[in-house]
Amino acid sequence: MLRLPLLALGLLLAFGTAAQAQDNPVIARMTAFVATYNAQDAESLAGFYAPDAALLPPGQASILGREAIAQHYAQAFAAGARELQFKTFDIRGFDTSAVEIGETVVMMGEQRIVGRYMHLWEVIDGQLLLTRDMYHVLKVD
């Protein structure tokens, strides 16, 4: 039963980033991720990550696991992080995983932060989850 969704994931990812959100499961997940981020719901946001996921923020130690990731986002929201936007540049799909590269813009107080990210998405128990999330800052306006 899981084989059909995995095959569909592979076929959809093969079309690259030109596909719309309804046609590409990674873009659909990122769209939902951004909506959850912008709702400032740290617990729900952590649900986009695998239980043993790693978040690799710039200049900080790795953040491991959903609970620690939820705490990271709660602290970011408390510090003024808001209005996340994203643009995906590349998606490479494999049997049960995909690598996504893109850029983000987020407001932190009055500063506009532009960053680049790389995500590793994996199908785990029939759900597309982030297992690795690495980003860095390109500029701060």
pTM beyond 0.95: no
Q: What's the pLDDT score for residue 23?
A: 82
Q: What percent of the chain has pLDDT over 70?
A: 84
Is beta strand 49-56 parallel, antiparallel or unpaired with respect to 63-64?
Answer: antiparallel
Q: Are strands 49-56 and 127-140 parallel, antiparallel or unpaired?
A: parallel
Distance from C-alpha of 91 to C-alpha of 17, rounded to nearest angstrom: 6
Residue-wise pLDDT for 69-86, tens only, equals 999 999 999 999 999 999
User: Mean pLDDT in runs of 10 for the chain (141 residues)?
Assistant: 42 42 86 98 98 96 98 97 97 96 96 98 97 97 95
CA neighbor of 130 nearest in space, from 94, 90, 100: 100
| Distance separating alpha carbons of residues 91 and 33, to the nearest angstrom | 16
Q: In 10 A of CB 56, how many CB atoms?
A: 16
Express each pLDDT in 19-30 by its tens digit.
455 589 999 999
